[in-house]
Structure 1
Amino acid sequence: MGRMSSPFPSSAAVSATAATIAAAVASFLAGMDVLIVNVALPTIAADLGGDMAVQQWVVDGYTLLFAVLLLLAGSLADRFGAKRVFLIGAALFGLVSLFCSFAWSMAALVAGRCVLGVASALILPASMSLINEANPDPRRRAWALALWGAGGASASAVGPLLGGLLTPIHWSLVFAINVPFCLFLLALAPRIAPSPRRPIRFDGLGQTLALAGLSALVAGIIEVGAIGLTVPATLVLLGVGVLALALFVLSQAKVAAPMMPLDLFRIRGMQVALQIGFIMIFNWYGMVFICTMFLQNERHMGAFAAGLVFVPSAFVTIIGNLIGGRIITARGSRFSITLGLAIMIAGFLFEFLTPAPIPVWVVATGLSVVGFGAAITTPAAAGVVLRSVDPAQAGIASAMFNTFRQVGGAIGVAVFGVIATFLPSLTLALRSVFLASALLLVYVLAFELLRWRER
């Protein structure tokens, strides 16, 4: 008689499912914590104090450290194993979230947000590596990446909604809500297979220059809005930032083990994916930051009502990610990226072309259209990254992709915050954000079509 198949899933299938769920939840957590605080900022500022520049640092303290340390975290995931680094990051995230919920001053809160950025940097590239390790089959990996993308993309919409729901109770809950997610990730640990380790050397010089350069650049952009462009302190910050980043690029061509291997930039798929990641999140984070300010400060909506504006985009984004997985499987990543970018452009133009005063329903509809396009684009771009490089470089390539995304987010909040400071109204600032975002995406779409046509 032939052997009967077991009615229970194999250990490999259980591990793959657990790794995929953990990665999707981590992607949701990292994305949610960027934007959940936006709706709570006016309430936090009323309680702890702080002007526009300080409020920008509550957001950018997280995104900046998140962005700068992603490359180092990608190397750590390769060297010590993605699972180990992932779990350390999840534990740190939970502990620091508790600290932020008890913050007694804006300085303490900004410090906590910076450490949260460190924790996110540990879990995000490791989550992509877990998916890559657990799903060797391309079709299964496409679906796993769609779920991973659904986590991050839906968090961008759910974050402001949760912020609106929790802030009226107390603003500390926007940080405490992270703890159950972190406990869930730690509970999944026994079911996830151990990760391989690879001998990776660290690039201390590159890490130092990247941290100094990006910190100074973002600080300089924020200070343009706070104290002006011609003030010596602002010029020094911007100058140090540009110089340190230039030295960082030069160092990557010289050191034996670069944290950002320049040869990866020669790969067409990486060129397309990195630009998509940077500009998409630059637009989205900047838009959500200005939208929440517009809704509460100019439309005089409460935190709960402002959070409800993001409800439609939350549902649409989740649906978009699920549909996006099918589109990737049926038509491929190139088609998905092209379609997603076109939808996002349409959403931004719809909002820009609506005559002032901008109705709240237009903001909600535009967010939904843009979120739907982003949900289709993000997992496709992530898949391009993983397919473009050798499996041994999956960790560092994933870290580069997410670094460009988070750097784009930090700079987007800084740049659009400066725009809001100098323009006479938040309505005009919001319209400027819509137009600038549409034009940037038109550039990315043109670059993507031309670059891949050359092959």
Structure 2
Amino acid sequence: MDVLIVNVALPTIAADLGGNMAVQQWVVDGYTLLFAALLLLAGSLADQFGAKRIFLIGAALFGAASLFCSFAWSMMALVAGRCVLGVASALLLPASMSLINEASPNPRYRAWALALWGAGGASASAVGPLLGGLLTPIHWSLVFAINVPFCLAILAVAPHIAPSPQRSTRFDWIGQILALIGLSALVAGIIQVGSAGFSAPSTLTLLVAGIVALAMFVYSQTKVSSPMMPLGLFRVRGMQVALQIGFIMIFNWYGMVFICTMFLQNELHMNPFAAGLVFVPSAFVTIVGNLMGGRIVTARGSKFSITLGLAIMIAGFLFEFLCARPIPVWVIATGLSVVGFGAAITTPAAAGVVLKSVSASQAGIASAMFNTFRQVGGAIGVAVFGVIATFLPSLDLALRAVFLASALLLAYVLAFEFLRWKDAPMTAATAESVA
């Protein structure tokens, strides 16, 4: 919810606090970048200090950061608050799944609990744009303040949560630091291309620093005894497919939502409420797709589900790209719904591929890698598509470029899947966990 509700409010926030396209990108990417970069560390902390403790710390920090954002006096203060929100989200996500696992020793009960967990996320995606449209006209600060009651409710029921076990774990601190520096510098460099140009010294410095840090990160993973991202997993064809799907799908979606919001409010001059309504049909269609996705995987296998989902998403993006100028609102809403439905079918299949591709002892780290690639894709997608928008004469053309680029990237993944990966039969345990 916190991503989509803020996207709807961004034009109003910029009108009040100021800030060009690059600063608005950081309002989104400050959150997603820290979220992505710290997921693996947060999972390790949940194991070492107990999932309950880390979950409650994350909830308290999320509430405090949301309150800070609601009182932000400048765009720089808001970006800082969004970065803290990203840290809090990283603490919450793996700890929440660990709590479900601890509270649900029965596999069927656990599968149902995880389904409810997923439905909560899908419902939040549905109401996020609508709430953003309702609250922004009152005051944009409410899109952040609305998080506070939820966090207080979590803390209120904390005494009823069973204590979590603590385990002694080793963590790759060198890898974590290099990954954080590399990703932050790379995303900052991409955003800087749009505001200062590719040849500007600041742009080149950030891009080079990011590339060097990420290269050092990859090298470090071959030298440490407990790497945060085992490179051997990249040689597994199923993992190659799943990681590319996770990265490109969120790369496309976050970037598209960012530019689409700008187009609806800045070029079509829609109010925030009307702009938020455009995203609502896709969110509810996504809920239906999530319910169908697990069943399709168990009935027809991961490869069929991924092929079907990717094809539907490509069709949705091409439908939007080929329509007349300017892009009608109903076309955007319909195309978003088609893309969302395809993504909902693809995601559980890709998650199942992750579980099938590795041993049980590596399932945790493989799942963390999958989620990390997804969030990194979202941060880079907002940065790249925001840069594209600054170089094109209109947001209509920028949105068309986003649709075409998204379709081509998904077509590449579909070709890779056909040529280099053969699906393996799904076990009953894996099917149950995916469902």
TM-score, with length taken from structure 2: 0.91
**1:156 positional shift:** 4.1
Give the aligned residue type for 1:225. Answer: G
Q: Is the 8 A contact 1:145 1:382 kept in 2?
A: no
Give the aligned residue type for 1:81. Answer: G
Q: Given the alignment of the two structures, is residue 96 of structure 1 paired with residue 73 of structure 2, yes or no? A: no
Percent identity of paired positions between Structure 1 and Structure 2: 85
* 1:310 alignment partner, SS class: helix
Partner in structure 2 of residue 322 of structure 1:
291
**1:144 positional shift:** 4.6
Q: Given the alignment of the two structures, is residue 122 of structure 1 paired with residue 91 of structure 2, yes or no? A: yes
Give the aligned residue type for 1:223. Answer: Q
For the residues of structure 2 that align with 1:330 and 1:171, how far apart are their CA atoms? 45
My pick for the range that moved more, 62-71 or 383-392, is: 383-392
* 2:421 alignment partner, SS class: helix
Change (3 A) 1:277 1:140: farther
Give the aligned residue type for 2:401. Answer: S
My pick for the range that moved more, 410-419 or 34-43, is: 34-43
Give the aligned residue type for 1:308. Answer: L
Instruction: Give unpaired runs (5+ residues) of structure 2.
Output: 425-435
Q: Is the 8 A contact 2:296 2:305 kept in 1?
A: yes
Change (3 A) 1:194 1:388: farther
Instruction: Give unpaired runs (5+ residues) of structure 1.
Output: 1-31
**1:48 positional shift:** 1.2
Q: Given the alignment of the two structures, is residue 248 of structure 1 paired with residue 223 of structure 2, yes or no? A: no
Q: Is the 8 A contact 1:63 1:410 kept in 2?
A: yes
For the residues of structure 2 that align with 1:148 and 1:334, how far apart are their CA atoms? 25
Give the aligned residue type for 2:96. Answer: S
For the residues of structure 2 that align with 1:234 and 1:204, how far apart are their CA atoms? 27
- Provide, for residues 381-404 of structure 1, a one-character-per-residue CA deviation record: whole Å limited to 9, x for no partner: 233334444444444333211111
Equivalent residue pairs, number: 424
Q: Is the 8 A contact 1:149 1:375 kept in 2?
A: no
My pick for the range that moved more, 116-125 or 282-291, is: 116-125
**1:182 positional shift:** 2.2
Q: Given the alignment of the two structures, is residue 39 of structure 1 paired with residue 8 of structure 2, yes or no? A: yes
Partner in structure 1 of residue 394 of structure 2:
425
My pick for the range that moved more, 386-395 or 291-300, is: 386-395
Match of 2:171 among 198, 202, 215: 202
Match of 1:351 among 320, 336, 353: 320
- Provide, for residues 309-362 of structure 1, a one-character-per-residue CA deviation record: whole Å limited to 9, x for no partner: 112112111122122233234334443333222221111111111122210000
Partner in structure 1 of residue 206 of structure 2:
237
**1:301 positional shift:** 0.7
Q: Given the alignment of the two structures, is residue 281 of structure 1 paired with residue 250 of structure 2, yes or no? A: yes
For the residues of structure 1 that align with 2:206 and 2:391, how far apart are their CA atoms? 20
Give the aligned residue type for 1:77. Answer: A
* 2:195 alignment partner, SS class: helix
- Provide, for residues 13-67 of structure 1, a one-character-per-residue CA deviation record: whole Å limited to 9, x for no partner: xxxxxxxxxxxxxxxxxxx212211111111111111111111111111111111
My pick for the range that moved more, 280-289 or 200-209, is: 200-209
Q: Is the 8 A contact 1:273 1:401 kept in 2?
A: yes
Query: What does 1:44-83 correspond to in 2, within 5 Å?
Result: 44-83=13-52
Match of 1:453 among 419, 422, 426: 422
Q: Given the alignment of the two structures, is residue 111 of structure 1 paired with residue 61 of structure 2, yes or no? A: no
Query: What does 1:216-227 correspond to in 2, within 5 Å?
Result: 216-227=185-196
Q: Is the 8 A contact 1:203 1:257 kept in 2?
A: yes
Match of 2:238 among 269, 281, 292: 269
Partner in structure 2 of residue 22 of structure 1:
none
CA-based RMSD of the aligned residues comes to 2.2
For the residues of structure 2 that align with 1:231 and 1:51, how far apart are their CA atoms? 18
Q: Is the 8 A contact 2:303 2:423 kept in 1?
A: no
TM-score, with length taken from structure 1: 0.87
- Provide, for residues 381-440 of structure 1, a one-character-per-residue CA deviation record: whole Å limited to 9, x for no partner: 233334444444444333211111111000000000000000111111101100111111
